[in-house]
Amino acid sequence: MSEMRAETTILVPGKIPAYAADRIGERFRLVGIDKADPALLTEEMKRSVVGIASATIVNAAFIDALPNLRIIANFGVGYDGVDAAHAGTRNVMVTNTPDVLTEEVADTAIGLLINTVRELPKAESWLRAGRWRGEGPYPLTRGTLRGRSVGIFGLGRIGRAIARRIEAFGLPVSYHNRRQVQGVDYEYHPTLLSLAEAVDTLISVAPGGAATEKIVNAEIFTALGANGVFVNVGRGSAVDEAALAEALEKETILAAGLDVFADEPNVPEALLARENACLLPHVGSASVHTRQAMADLMVDNLIAWFTKGEALTPVAETAHVRSGG
């Protein structure tokens, strides 16, 4: 495979971290547009762009608008915004950034779970507002981790990292996936409903997409029960947010902790109004250390593709794609 040339053009639709853009600019010719809209592409871009570095939606129409496209490097482990199946039919490689964010997101999930159950952010606000001094100790929390049983929806890399942490708390772990995971001892449930009926704490690490759209719904919350806690660090689209808000309001479940939402950064008012919801602005992997590692892997995929004709972390839908040289 020949060395990549400086005129190898990589398109960035929307925003990516500045560190990633700088690295791309050092090795390639970088061009940018505001979003992945075919109408924003110039004729020169259509001719010259061979790669995309992206943290946004890249649909089939946008892929088709770039006839010489060879690779889409996605920033993030989740790539449901990229039509990878269509890219595969066009012989376009798609990569993501797994592993490098696994531990960070798992840490966030545990922190969010503890904050949700023990109300630590609200307790800090109580102190800062002078209420400890003026009114006395923060009220005892109804929630605790003690005695809980935890179900994980999506036992992939991140799900397994969360499970290891849950085990350290001395709590039993169960899980639901589309298929059973080999080599783990956790109890497997063939349906999400079965899992929710068996546990009182459900942590969703499920990917987005049509298969999981609003799959965590009113039936699941009812199954969790009045002591139930729901935590989501996967994709917001997997949750029926209206049903969740109602479950919180009616105390069908005890509490919820959310780091992701269906229409980010727009959080439903019904969830904002709930005191028994702990809400974070999608910070699961948001440390300098981890975001830099993600950026490095995204750029390293581009470099490997254009120098060796190989991707470091191809997604399943494009594992068959081979470089055209």
Spell out the per-residue pLDDT of the chain, length 325, in tens. 444 555 899 999 999 999 999 999 999 999 999 999 999 999 999 999 999 999 999 999 999 999 999 999 999 999 999 999 999 999 999 999 999 999 999 999 999 999 999 999 999 999 999 999 999 999 999 999 999 999 999 999 999 999 999 999 999 999 999 999 999 999 999 999 999 999 999 999 999 999 999 999 999 999 999 999 999 999 999 999 999 999 999 999 999 999 999 999 999 999 999 999 999 999 999 999 999 999 999 999 999 999 999 999 999 999 999 986 4
User: For position 98, what pLDDT does the model report?
Assistant: 96
User: For position 31, what pLDDT does the model report?
Assistant: 98
Structure tokens at 64: 């088709």
User: For position 7, what pLDDT does the model report?
Assistant: 81
- HEC per residue, 84-125: HHHHHHCCCEEECCCCCCHHHHHHHHHHHHHHHHHCHHHHHH
Contact present, 284 and 10 (Cβ < 8 Å): no
User: For position 5, what pLDDT does the model report?
Assistant: 52
Taking alpha carbons only, the member of 15, 33, 35, 26 closest to residue 75 is 15
Give the DSSP letter of residue 262: T
Q: Which residue has the tokens 């946008």?
A: 62
Give the DSSP letter of residue 138: P
Contact present, 298 and 75 (Cβ < 8 Å): yes
Q: How far apart are the first and last CA of the chain?
A: 6
Catalytic residues: 235, 264, 282
**Domain 102-279 class in CATH:** alpha beta
Domain extent listing, the chain: 9-98+288-318, 102-279
CB 325: neighbour CB atoms within 10 A?
Answer: 7
Amino acid at 242: A
Whole-Å CA distances, 13 to 156, 158, 298: 29, 27, 15
User: For position 324, what pLDDT does the model report?
Assistant: 67
User: For position 298, what pLDDT does the model report?
Assistant: 98
Report the distance separating Cα 175 and Cα 194, nearest Å.
10
CB 64: neighbour CB atoms within 10 A?
Answer: 13
Q: Which residue has the tokens 């594992």?
A: 319
User: For position 69, what pLDDT does the model report?
Assistant: 98
Record: fold of 9-98+288-318: Rossmann fold (3.40.50)
9-98+288-318 against 102-279: fold identical: yes
User: For position 70, what pLDDT does the model report?
Assistant: 98
Whole-Å CA distances, 207 to 43, 159, 194, 211, 296: 35, 11, 19, 9, 23
- Within the chain, residue ranges assigned H as helices are 18-27, 43-48, 60-64, 84-89, 102-118, 120-128, 131-135, 157-168, 192-198, 218-224, 241-249, 269-272, 288-308
